Amino acid sequence: MNYSKNMKRYFSKYRIHLALVGIAILLIVTIAACSHHSEGTDVEALTTTPKTTEVVTEIVAQTDTSTVTPTTKPEPEYVSLGEFKLTAYCGCSKCCGVWGENRPVDSEGKTIVMTAGGYRAVEGITVAADTNVLPFGTKIYIDGHEYTVQDRGGAVNGNKIDIYFENHQDAWNFGVQYKEVFILKGSEPND
């Protein structure tokens, strides 16, 4: 009987010990779990922050390249005026009659040929046309080359173009040709 009483006392004492130990373990575990959890979020925050900035810079870089796309110039549109009779002339009296006599000379000794439009004639640019059809300053295109209407002539009417050359021989060699003449869309003559 005494023995069992002692045992009971011993066990009850031991039970308190067990309970205290158990509480202590629980506390340690929860603290550890808490600290581990907070540690975990810290690590997560550290690793996710640079990741997001990386993504942002990547997006910025992408938008930058998309805005730098080169703009392409639209091709000019040409309108055909049909086939013209092309002749050539120079500033000499054979080509221009009395207008070709006593032309002034520039400092380089070149004959100054002033056109009816008030321009100094330049080979490769100056052409004479019927200014009722193509007014002075009109740009025309023959074989892809741009000329400007700067002159006119008594025999240059309708679908005729007289092309200016510096040299009489070059004008003679050109002879008479028939070619399609173009104009820029939007600057068509109103006939």
Chain residues in the site for Zn ion (CB under 5 A): 90, 92, 94-95, 168
Closest CA to 90 of 146, 173, 3, 6: 173
* Least distance to Zn ion, CB of residue 115, Å: 14
- 103 versus 139: smaller Cβ distance to Zn ion: 103
* CB 170 to Zn ion: min, Å: 9
121 burial class (0-12, 13-18, 19+ CB within 10 angstroms)? Answer: buried
Q: Which residue has the tokens 């158990």?
A: 22
Give the nearest distance from C-beta 172 to Zn ion in angstroms.
8
Q: Which is nearer to Zn ion, 115 or 138 (CB)?
A: 115
Backbone phi, psi, residue 117, to 5° = -85, -5
Q: Which is nearer to Zn ion, 81 or 171 (CB)?
A: 171
Tell me whether residue 95 or residue 163 sits nearer to Zn ion (CB atom): 95
Residue 95 amino acid letter: C
In angstroms, what is the minimal distance from the CB of 175 to Zn ion? Answer: 13
Q: Are strands 78-89 and 160-164 parallel, antiparallel or unpaired?
A: parallel
User: Toward Zn ion, which CB reaches closer, 153 or 182?
Assistant: 153
- Which CB, 81 or 162, lies closer to Zn ion? 162
Q: 55: how many CB neighbours lie within 10 A of its CB?
A: 10
Distance of CA 45 to the CA centre of its chain: 44
Q: How far is the CB of 94 from Zn ion (least distance, A)?
A: 5
Q: Which two tokens stand for residue 11?
A: 């066990």
Classify 130 as helix, strand or coil.
coil
Burial class of residue 109, CB neighbours in 10 A (0-12, 13-18, 19+): exposed
CB of 99 to Zn ion, least distance (A): 11
